[in-house]
Amino acid sequence: MNLSPRTARLAFVATMALPWLAAPGTGAAQPVPAAAPTAAPRIGLALSGGGARGLAHVGVLKVLEELRVPIHCVTGTSMGAIVGATFAAGTPPAEMEKAVLAADWAEIFRDRPPRDEISVRRKIDDYKTLFAPEFGVKDGGLALPKGVIAGVSIESFFRVLAAPAFGTYDFDKLPIPFRALATDIETGEAVVIDRGNVAQAMRASMSVPGAIAPVEIDGRLLVDGGIANNLPIDEARKLCADVVIAVNISTPPMKRSEITSALSVVGQLINFLGKQTVDDQIKRLGSRDVLIAPELGNISSSTFDRSADAIRIGEEATRALAESLKRYSLPPAQFAALRAKQVAERRELGTVDEIRFEGLERTNPEVLRSLVRSQPGEPLTEEKVGADLRRIFGRGGFEGISYHIVGDAGPRAMVIEPREKSWGPNFLRFGLGLASDFSGENQFNALVQYRKTWLNRLGGEWLTELQVGQNTFVHSEFYQPVNEAGQWFVAPYFTVGQVTRGVFIDDDKVADYKVRLAQGGVDAGAVLGTWGQFRVGPVWTRVDANVDTGSPVLPSVKENTAGLRAVLFVDQTDNAFFAREGFGVSASAYAAMESFGSARDYQRVEALFRGAKSWGPHTLNLSVSGGTDLGSDMPPYEAFMLGGPLRLSAYRVGQFTGREFAFGRLMYYNRILPLPDLLGSGVYAGGSLEVGHIRDRFDGRPSPGTLWSASVFLGADTFAGPGYLGVGGSESGNWSVYLLLGVP
């Protein structure tokens, strides 16, 4: 079976979504209908869970509307809760269908906000290619998140779906009374959610254990309701129903041939648990009730790209039971009057008198307030509030965020509830970089990062990084905002390390040049919103550089340097390495001055621009960079370098060094295979055209002139960083094969 990009991106989540899997469809067989009662019965709708299969519920609702079958209350589990809550909130099935078909489900299941809305410090981490799993350091041990997906994007989407119900606390007061089913992960008990935030109730009902983080409501930690009650017929009966229309879209248990891993074994066990609840509920149907069981075939819980097919099959299954359903039809005028009361217009959020934060223990709410663009007294919109929540979440440190409006009868307030990471406030991450040219030149670096957050009320952070391998260093920085808005900061730091650089004559490596340094400085800086940052400050360095092995082509240097440095970083790309849209600028300048205690005066300036533009699946990525010493006495350990993968791919890493360089690269790539969110974003096929020039070599040899190179590659954006396997060639006949994983 060929998988669409959207399907493949969700494949792993689908594997974890096995609590959605329950009993197989029971077909169209129905109990023998009894004679219609004299008085019109109250009809309850019970909708089962089933992931993407649950979108068949939308088709069922469309046909019930066509047949003029009234619905007086709704209960739902998992996807059934999502569709059911949307319907109960007053959204017509036709509008629901439109929203479902237009949804980008891959992005909905992705937690991270758009990259242009995350904090600058988190963007910088992207270029360090740290592994995606983040460990918490808490109470003397390591802790992990409760779910792979926090569910922030999911909850945001649900808020839009259930917009007409926004502000309705009591689910009995929705246009159609509603109940969502969840499971208490501590006790295993079914939990009936009958009040609160509708979007939060929807998310709790479908929080697949291990995949989507649980939701805490009223002190109970809630997960997917399919574990405890995947088809809530009994709750529909309790809520209002004389007659129940039950829709079962559960996935059948896996066959032996499909049980191929430990995950699938566990999933099958959960399958049987869910099946028991469905079977038990179906036994409770009476002769007046109707069971609709769409035959969804190979539509799985993850195939959201087949939403249209699922809706169509739901329609067909319901029309097949039209004769059983028509006995409950209302006359056109009566049905129209009922639906006029049940269909609600999308409520405007209006204005509020106050915006406040609740639920914070470590975080200073005034720091977060600077990220909120919505203001008291101004009309609120779901779009503006959603952007506020994404900016707060993108700052880091939170496992979820939601909001609600209180005080309809008096002063109104918007209450924002960021949920601090329960495994924080200190975090440990790991990274790995590998590179090989398959000719004996290999690089390896392993990185450990430890970050302590919220050291004070202004949001001070202490970052320490240790890297070992080809380049070894310890770097530590204390980042201290100087006001609650966080626009200004100071950052003292120190670095101790060793860098090894190759020395080449033509294509031959003749020596290893080792640069040992100890460096300290203090930066003062400004945060440019989510765009970037600028920092400037004095820096002092002790350098010991010498040829470790090979020919002494470069001089040994032991000296102190001191001066001022300035760094500008701007990043508005949507991906650090495989950007499809956006641009980035980085620039640095350093002036060593004898007046600061430096052994020599010199300057070093370097700048980079990159931008990406896409047309459908096709992307062009342009990068232009350059550097110069402005004609000063720059030492050899500060040399600019060209050569290596995607930086003149046909040549060795760092093969060309000098006092001045210019480089340009045009890349094309096309995502040929999506990856599950846990593994990355996708596999790419592409190529590059590269041109570079370098002059004033430190070994006195003439400049090689303008160098051209090109490469073709397979690339991957993975949880461990970028990966490339490529072949590079040049007009002079040089060629190379390279493997690059992460940032070596």
Angle, helices 307-319 vs 93-102, to 10°: value is: 150
Q: Name the residue among 477, 382, 353, 447 with its Cα closest to residue 160.
A: 382
Q: What is the DSSP string of 210-262?
A: EEE--EEETTEEEEEGGGT-SS-HHHHHHHT-SEEEEE--PPPPPPGGG--SH
Q: Name the residue among 539, 492, 500, 535 with its Cα closest to residue 518.
A: 539
Rounded Cα distance between 193 and 253, Å, is 28
Does residue 425 have a cis peptide bond before it, meaning omega lies within 30 degrees of 0? Answer: yes
**568, 574, 578, 580 alpha-carbon torsion, rounded to 10°:** -120
Rounded Cα distance between 500 and 248, Å, is 64
Q: Are 461 and 469 in contact (CB under 8 A)?
A: no
Give the catalytic positions in this structure: 78, 224
Element (H, E) at 327: none
- CB-based burial, 278-313: b 16+ in 10 Å, e otherwise: beebbeebeebbbbbbbbbeebbbbbbbbbebbbbb
Element (H, E) at 284: none
Non-local CB neighbours of 98 within 8 Å, separated by 6+ positions: none
Q: Whose structure tokens read 């009591």?
A: 170
Look at residue 370 and give its three-state secondary structure. Answer: coil
Q: Are 505 and 554 in contact (CB under 8 A)?
A: no
Residue 637 in tokens: 């350990």
Rounded Cα distance between 708 and 650, Å, is 9
Rounded Cα distance between 183 and 684, Å, is 40
Query: What does the chain come to in residues?
Result: 744
Rounded Cα distance between 8 and 14, Å, is 9
Collect contacts of 325-328 with beta carbons under 8 A, ≥24 apart: 325/64, 325/67, 325/69, 325/245, 325/290, 326/67, 327/33, 327/36, 328/36, 328/40, 328/41, 328/43, 328/69, 328/70, 328/243
Rounded Cα distance between 205 and 589, Å, is 54
Angle, helices 152-161 vs 198-205, to 10°: value is: 130
Q: Whose structure tokens read 């073709």?
A: 712
Non-local CB neighbours of 254 within 8 Å, separated by 6+ positions: 21, 264, 267, 268, 271
Q: Are 542 and 517 in contact (CB under 8 A)?
A: yes
- Alpha-carbon distance values, 460 to 177, 478, 481, 482, 634 (Å): 47, 7, 6, 9, 36
Element (H, E) at 200: helix 198-205
Rounded Cα distance between 429 and 617, Å, is 32
Rounded Cα distance between 36 and 579, Å, is 62
**Phi, psi dihedrals of residue 234, rounded to the nearest 5°:** -60, -35
Q: Are 621 and 583 in contact (CB under 8 A)?
A: no
- CB-based burial, 521-531: b 16+ in 10 Å, e otherwise: bebebebeebe
Rounded Cα distance between 70 and 453, Å, is 54
